[in-house]
Amino acid sequence: MRAPRDAEVRYELQLQRRVAFSETDTAGIVHFSNFFRYFEDAEHEIWRSAGLSIHPETSPIGWPRVSASCEFHRPLRFEQEFEVIVRIAEMTRRTITYTGEITRSGERVATATWKIACVSKLPDGSMKSIDIPEDVASCLAPLTSHIAPRASQ
């Protein structure tokens, strides 16, 4: 059974976009690397919808990608409109995992999952994994309400 619409908007973000010319390649379709950018843009919109920025200026904390994967089901072409739907699939003490889907006219175009880690930026430029700050976790918490609690976590 699907959760009612009101509940859905709490944990799922949907963006409407149109393919830009510079996103296409000589095969006549969106270059696959740009799908990862579409998903990232929707991810950052999730943060903004929670009153946060994933990269406030002068913040000593960063959120690099740990992994990213995508399956490409159908191509997108110049000027086509499509939807990007992203949700938080898991939030652990130090990482956030997202899942996303791109659709067009009701058909699946791409599905993706990716994980980011909370890190502290050290003076020498290196990064060290740290716990997600409490204020960030509590702002994002409503977006994880659809995730079934697990004993293993």
Which residues are marked as active site?
Answer: 25
Establish if 22 lies at the interface with its own copies (CB under 8 A). yes
Q: Is 148 in the site for its own copies (CB under 8 A)?
A: no
Is residue 33 within the footprint of its own copies (CB under 8 A)?
A: yes
Secondary structure, 3-state, the chain: CCCCHHHHCCCEEEEEEECCHHHECCCCCECHHHHHHHHHHHHHHHHHHCCCCCCCCCCCEECCEEEEEEEECCCCCCCCEEEEEEEEEEECCCEEEEEEEEEECCEEEEEEEEEEECEEECCCCCEEECCCCHHHHHHHHHHHCCCCCCCCC
Q: Is 67 in the site for its own copies (CB under 8 A)?
A: yes
Query: Which of 3, 7, 8, 41 forms a contact with its own copies (CB under 8 A)?
Result: 41
**55 lies in the site for its own copies, by CB under 8 A:** yes
Here's the x/- map for its own copies, 119-138, by CB under 8 A: it reads as: ------x-x-----------
Q: Which residues bind its own copies (CB under 8 A)?
A: 20-22, 24-29, 31-34, 36-37, 40-41, 44, 48, 53-55, 57-58, 62, 64-72, 75, 77-79, 125, 127
